[in-house]
Amino acid sequence: MEALTELRKHVQSSKFVIGTSEVMKLLKHNKLARIFAASNCPASIKDGLKHYGAMADCEIVELEIPNDELGVMCKKPFSISVAGVLR
């Protein structure tokens, strides 16, 4: 549950990004410090995150909540599978 606490803290900051395409783009440019993935994030996306995360030395946190709850935590009216924190 400490990951959820940290996630809530980062949601308010300007260094928080949401969305698979945005997170992948920033990850490929080595600009993310940590990535949060929902429990029901598609396997193909998780594989890509793990691959690029290992190259960029970025920690990937797999949350225990599904993407619709992650959207609520991020104060958005839609589901979110992936979110990241900038370096």
Extents of the domains making up the chain: 2-86
Identify the pLDDT of residue 31.
95
Q: What is the pLDDT along the chain (87 residues), one digit of tens a residue?
A: 688 888 888 888 889 999 999 999 999 999 999 999 999 999 999 999 999 999 999 999 999 999 999 999 999 999 999 999 998
Beta bridge partners, 16, equal 85
86: helix, strand or coil? strand
Q: Looking at the chain, list the stretches that DSSP marks H as alpha helix, in order from N- to C-terminal side.
A: 2-11, 20-28, 43-56, 67-73
- The model's pTM is 0.91
The highest-level CATH class for domain 2-86 is alpha beta
Identify the pLDDT of residue 1.
60
Identify the pLDDT of residue 55.
92
